[in-house]
Amino acid sequence: MTTITRPAGTVSVRVPAKINLQLSVGPLRADGYHDVVTVYHAVALFDEITVSAADRTSVEVTGEGVASVPLGPTNLAVKAAAALAKATGRRSRSVSGGSSGRGSSVGSSGRGAAGGSGRSSFRGSSAGGSGGSSPRGSTAVKIEIRKRIPVAAGLAGGSADAAATLVACNELWRTGLSPSELAEIAANLGSDVPFALAGGTAVGLGRGEQLTTALAAGSYDWVLAFGATGLATPDVYAACDRLRAARKSGDGVPAATPPELSTELMAALRTGDPAEVGPLLSNDLQPAALSLQPLLRRALAAGKEHGALGAVVSGSGPTCAFLASDADAASELAVGITGAGVCRAVVQVTGPAPGACLVDSGIAT
């Protein structure tokens, strides 16, 4: 058995990707969001975040799609550390250098190295935004993100990293916040962040941040097909609004009706039978994602052709999720979809997976 020993004062957290088994989208709200009814399902594809006390806040990203991970203050993990620091009233000491981050990222414009996988980093001011000179009691942290969840893929990878950073800093700083207090901070960071904390299978209302655990039995075998390029969530919601507006002016049908939870899907999830669940997967954002990346149609078709029980774009896409009857069927499906040449890569995963949890802590007890 291999034991990984972390240096004292570091905390590591593992956090899953999510797919949406149902995503029903209501009309555009005045605040720019849409009311949704969604069924989140965490899958065993994990990012790992390690935080440690530091003189200055820095982010280092390795792994899948680092080129597209924002570095510096716009990184959601940095925002998560800052939000936790603020909520718990941690001191942030001023140091010379002021509040703007000093990017030392590889490449330009605060992003990482070119290429799908690699390493990039940023060093800036304290997470609190006003500098931090002392590891003890300061808000400055070194955040290391090991990515396996693709970026801008509809799998809530950025939200997952934010959730993991909340859990890690909560432990590092011994703030003692409860899960519900962390969930409240998470909801302000992004609609999908509370679910990354919770994991499992859950119904999300409001923007998606109001969670109720779903009564779901069994475990499910999935194949995820990753797109060649990402899709930005706001672009996909905007495309959804445009498609609905065009439809409304065409046939007089209301652009969007209030979303409702699928009682059929909830009943199917209680049986634990993938053959019941597969045909009930649904996503109101799918037509919008397909309009932006027409190749996704071929990916969905290839999955069905190779025996998927259900095929759906996950969230805002472009990842397509395919449900299989068991692990062997998922392996065959993965081979078939790979052979069809309609996506960048496929992975086989199971769900539900647990939410953000500590994997290691070098904190003395």
246 vs 323: CA distance, rounded Å:
32
Among 90, 147, 207, 244, binds ligand C5P (CB under 6 A): 207
Binding-site member from 27, 33, 184, 307 for ligand C5P (CB under 6 A) = 33
Is residue 20 near ligand C5P by the rule CB under 6 A?
no
Sign of CA dihedral 151, 156, 157, 158: positive
Respond yes or no on whether the N-terminal peptide bond of residue 352 is cis (omega within 30° of 0). yes
User: Which one of 47, 79, 161, 192 is the catalytic residue?
Assistant: 192
Among 13, 19, 36, 182, binds ligand C5P (CB under 6 A): 36
CB closer to ligand C5P, 157 vs 274: 157
Touching ligand C5P, residues 234-293 (CB under 6 A): 234, 237
Report the residue number, 64 or 192, with the smaller CB distance to ligand C5P: 192
- Shorter beta-carbon distance to ligand C5P: residue 51 or 240: 240
Work out which of 157, 190, 230, 336 binds ligand C5P, going by CB under 6 A: 190
Phi, psi of 290 (to 5 degrees): -65, -35
> Which positions ≥6 away from 70 have C-beta within 8 Å?
110, 111
- Binding status of residue 191 toward ligand C5P by CB under 6 A: yes
CA distance 126 to 231: 31
- Please classify residue 130 by burial: count the beta carbons closer than 10 Å to its beta carbon, then call 0-12 exposed, 13-18 middle and 19+ buried: middle
CA–CA distance, 165 with 183 (Å, rounded to integer): 13
In the list 233, 262, 293, 348, the residue contacting ligand C5P (rule: CB under 6 A) is 233
Query: Is 34 a residue that touches ligand C5P (CB under 6 A)?
Result: yes
Q: Using DSSP, state whether 148 is helix, strand or coil.
A: coil
Active site amino acids = 18, 192
Where on the chain is the footprint of ligand C5P (CB under 6 A)? 32-34, 36, 190-192, 207-208, 233-234, 237
